[in-house]
Amino acid sequence: MSDDVIGTVVQRTQPVRHPFYVNTGIGMHAGLGQQNYRDEPDKTPSSQIPLTRDKSSTTSRLLTMQEIHSITLVSEFLSATMAPDLDIGARSGIEALTKSWRIFAHAFPGGHIQLESLRQLTSFCLVATTRTSVTLTKQTLQYLFHRLADGSEANSKRRENIFARLLDQRIVMCGSVRFDWDDTSKRVIGLYTHVDMLSPMLTLLGNLEDVSFVFSGALITPDGDFSTKKANEPWRE
């Protein structure tokens, strides 16, 4: 199957009936639901457990029992439905997948992922389309784009100008997730994510030269893939 199918949804007149697709749809809603972070804290009373203060942040909050329960459900869902050597593109394994999700959660604490559609391409392939909206906060820019956090004199004026144009901007990124299913093991063996971050960044900056400057050496690529080897892990500190 060619790579360009990742960004394409094939419309089908027949409904999706395979139990894998039903379960994956439920799991997608559960997993993506964990990324629906809100900028305002939930004021509903609930049992809470302290969350360690992030050294790169000036604030801390409590982890609710509801969040803990949801995280547990997602973890159980992944273990039950994903192959241990899950192919996610440049990397493999469930741990690599969850690390990318943790990077997303740290970089975009107010991020929102909306599942728009699920379409069956073949008996063993499913594509979900998504819309991801995030705010480019100071922490986000400094964490993901190393050239914008560089304190050297080189390109300082250009860096400050780009930083000012991006700071606190809310962007929306269209994307897709492709699931490949193995009927023998009854597991997902491939999960390929594509998110178009290039288009909104180009809209904000107005030229490819500045976009290239921002993404050079960045923790995230223009198609939304995280370079996990470069990432520090403040959630472990």
| pLDDT at residue number 71 | 57
- Alpha helices, DSSP H, located in 48-168: 65-81, 94-107, 138-144, 146-149, 156-166
| pLDDT at residue number 131 | 94
Copy the structure tokens of residue 60: 């801390």
The pTM (predicted TM-score) of the whole model is 0.67
Nearest to 177 by CA among 32, 7, 35: 7
Q: Give the integer Cα–Cα distance in Å for 83 and 79.
A: 8
- Domains in the chain, CATH or no CATH each: 16-236 (3.10.450.50)
| pLDDT at residue number 194 | 94
Q: Give the integer Cα–Cα distance in Å for 64 and 85.
A: 31
Give the highest mean pLDDT range of 11-20, 29-38, 228-237.
228-237
Q: Give the integer Cα–Cα distance in Å for 106 and 54.
A: 9
User: What confidence category does residue 137 fall into, taking pLDDT thresholds of 50, 70 and 90?
Assistant: very high
The per-residue pLDDT for range 39-80, each reduced to its tens digit, is: 444 444 333 333 333 433 434 445 456 655 555 666 677 778
